[in-house]
């Protein structure tokens, strides 16, 4: 999947990545330096890798569990790229699958991404707004995650329509689905996504909206994560970009990313697209006013207020999921029985064809 890409030289600081800190895990590594710390982190990656390895080569299709081999997959075509691998379409005994292939690495950071992807897709497939995983294969060279085939992502859909704004009722349905998925990850699995953006929000042919790409998700430690270097900077919250801010943040950083995505869908273009370069974008996110919507643009008061709340510059003023899911715009959208995302999506595809 093609998407807007920027090369960012984000500020870094000498700190341990505590994404996987937990009792018996990497928490002890925080007290170590240099080679000792690296060894402990690598050992923890190896331990978790072996845990997910035990579930490899098992596919769950149509309520049945089968043991399969990589050779049973039949390649059809390449689909696109994710945060840490490329995605291709395969078939297994007639079942179409989107298979994400990730090259194994001795680098702890890369292995952490792969392990997190496996952790999330295997834990969270029971959520209707998260892309379903059938299972995965592990070979000496790579890891292959088998997922349901989706029709497109919102980033590609916007480009396909010539950056035509998405109608507010459709955005409402998208918002409900994305927030439901994010709240599920937080409440059920103590996970923050960290890379919410249009290219990671997918649609199936029935118009069901699902979240994907968990390679850089972080485990929450007392509701916070402790590393800055993850995600797509153009959609990052100010507190994640600020080198002077504490390197800990919570789910409200994803709330900001949802807000930026809402503005992009509403206007048909990334809100900072008019800026000349990455430095200007970085500065505007950090120091400028957030890209809010206005009623005189044709948006409802509920939607304008919803986006305003999501895009509060001060993280303490930004709402958490419980409050967001009870916002009038979300309540209205959840109770909307007339808006059909599938019908809207079908009409777009037919017009473009």
Which residues share a beta bridge with 320? none
Q: Under the phi-then-psi rule, with left for phi > 0, alpha for psi from -120 to 50, and beta for the rest, what region is 188?
A: alpha
Q: Which of 119, 195, 213, 250 is catalytic?
A: 195
The tokens of 258 are what? Answer: 């949802």
* 195 flagged as catalytic: yes
Q: Tell me which residues are annotated as active site.
A: 195
């Amino acid at each position: 999947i093609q998407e807007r890409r920027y090369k960012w030289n984000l500020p870094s600081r000498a700190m341990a990545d505590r994404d996987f800190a937990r009792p018996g895990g990497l928490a002890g590594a925080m007290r170590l330096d240099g080679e000792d710390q690296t060894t402990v982190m690598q050992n923890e990656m190896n331990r978790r890798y072996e845990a997910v390895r035990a579930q490899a080569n098992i596919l769950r299709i149509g309520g049945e569990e089968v043991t399969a081999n990589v050779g049973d997959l039949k390649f059809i075509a390449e689909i696109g790229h994710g945060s840490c691998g490329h995605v291709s379409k395969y078939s297994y005994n007639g079942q179409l699958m989107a298979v994400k292939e990730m090259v194994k690495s001795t680098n702890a950071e890369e292995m952490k991404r792969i392990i997190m992807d496996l952790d999330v897709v295997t834990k969270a497939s029971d959520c209707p707004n998260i892309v379903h995983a059938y299972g995965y294969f592990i070979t000496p060279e790579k890891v292959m995650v088998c997922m349901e085939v989706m029709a497109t992502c919102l980033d590609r859909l916007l480009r396909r329509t010539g950056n035509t704004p998405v109608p507010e009722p459709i955005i409402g349905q998208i918002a409900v689905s994305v927030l439901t998925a994010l709240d599920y990850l937080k409440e059920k699995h103590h996970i923050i996504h960290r890379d919410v953006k249009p290219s990671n929000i997918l649609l199936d042919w029935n118009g069901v909206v699902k979240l994907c790409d968990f390679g850089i998700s972080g485990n929450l430690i007392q509701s916070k994560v402790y590393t800055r270097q993850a995600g797509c900077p153009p959609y990052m919250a100010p507190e994640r970009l600020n080198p002077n801010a504490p390197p800990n943040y919570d789910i409200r950083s994803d709330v900001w990313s949802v807000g930026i995505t809402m503005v992009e869908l509403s206007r048909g273009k990334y809100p900072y697209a008019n800026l000349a370069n990455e430095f200007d974008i970085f500065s505007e996110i950090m120091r400028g006013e957030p890209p809010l919507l206005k009623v005189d643009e044709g948006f409802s008061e509920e939607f304008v207020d919803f986006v305003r709340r999501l895009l509060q510059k001060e993280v303490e003023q930004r709402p958490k999921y419980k409050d967001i899911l009870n916002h009038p715009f979300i309540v209205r959208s959840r109770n909307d029985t007339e808006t059909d995302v599938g019908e809207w999506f079908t009409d777009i595809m037919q017009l473009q064809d």
